[in-house]
Amino acid sequence: MKRINSTVALTFVLLTLMFGAGIVSSAWGFAIGREALKGITQPDSRPTNKVNRKNPNGREQLTFLKEDDILATVKSRIGGTSKPPASPSPSSSPQSKTGTSNNQAAANFPLLARDKDVALEITGVQQQKDSVTLDVAMKNDSNQAIKFLYSTLNVTDERGRTITVDTTGLPSEMPAKSDRYTGTVNISAALLANAQKLSLQLTDYPDQKLQLKLSEIPVR
């Protein structure tokens, strides 16, 4: 009987020690965890906390971000810049430059060459898809008839390259005190690669006493 009582007592003592050790361990672990988390608080993501505390009405006011500001910030972080690429101004666009160039070219016309009362005039340039056309006017104010052979018409670009041309409507002979004749000088666009300006020279045939010369004829 005494053996049984001592066994029960020993068991009770062991259970009591284990229970006490568990309580002590729990308390110690709680104290250590609390000390480790001291100063750490849960992030407050409530939008009502971002209010204007100085609002005299005492009402909570939300701060709304503009969509443009948000997009600018995103672009800044992604591309490294917050400034959107500047759109080309109308004056710097290729189309505007072409228009300006054409206006300047038009402002140079007419171009006039005169020798011994014979006049050769370039009144304009027409640019098409596969050809360039020079509008030409001629007049003879002298007292004698003048003949021309247009195969002798010499056309060169600013690099000195000879350009093959053909003419339409220009007179092979102009009588003395003639009226004004008009025609064209036609040039294949393929022959004008990288050419900006042309020079033109025409003489009479067969005497070759006239020297009708024009330069700086813009074709671009």
Single pTM value for the model: 0.51
* DSSP character string of 109-122: --EEEEETTEEEEE
Average pLDDT over residues 90-116: 60
What's residue 4's pLDDT?
Answer: 57
User: What pLDDT is recorded for position 103?
Assistant: 46
Task: Report residue 93's pLDDT band, with 50, 70 and 90 as the boundaries.
Answer: very low
Q: What are phi and psi of 195, to 5 degrees?
A: -85, 135
| Contacts (Cβ under 8 Å, ≥6 apart) of 49 | none
SS3 state of residue 63: coil
- Residue entry with tokens 């005190």: 177
pLDDT reported for residue 214: 93
Q: Are 135 and 122 in contact (CB under 8 A)?
A: yes
Res 26: pLDDT: 84
Q: How far apart are CA 194 and CA 219, in angstroms?
A: 10
**pLDDT at residue 166, as a whole number:** 92
pLDDT higher at 94 or 25: 25
Q: Summarize the confidence of residues 134-144 as an average pLDDT.
A: 94
Cα distance between residue 104 and residue 99, in whole Å: 9
- The rounded percent of the chain whose pLDDT value lies above 90 is 38
> Does the pLDDT of residue 101 top 50, yes or no?
no
Give span(s): CATH 2.60.40.1230, the chain: 101-218
Q: How many angstroms separate the CA atoms of 183 and 217, rounded? A: 17
- On the question of pLDDT at 104 being above 60, the answer is no
Whether residue 120 is predicted with pLDDT greater than 80 in this model: the reply is: yes
Q: Band the pLDDT of 68: cuts 50, 70, 90.
A: confident
Contact, 106 vs 140, CB < 8 A? no
Mean pLDDT for the stretch of residues 109-119: 92
Judge whether residue 35 has pLDDT over 90: no
What number is the average pLDDT over the span 86-102? 46
Higher-pLDDT residue of 94 and 180 is: 180
CATH number of 101-218: 2.60.40.1230
Residue 154: pLDDT over 80:
yes
Q: Which residue has the higher pLDDT, 16 or 83?
A: 16
Q: Which of 35-44, 103-112, 158-167 has the highest mean pLDDT?
A: 158-167
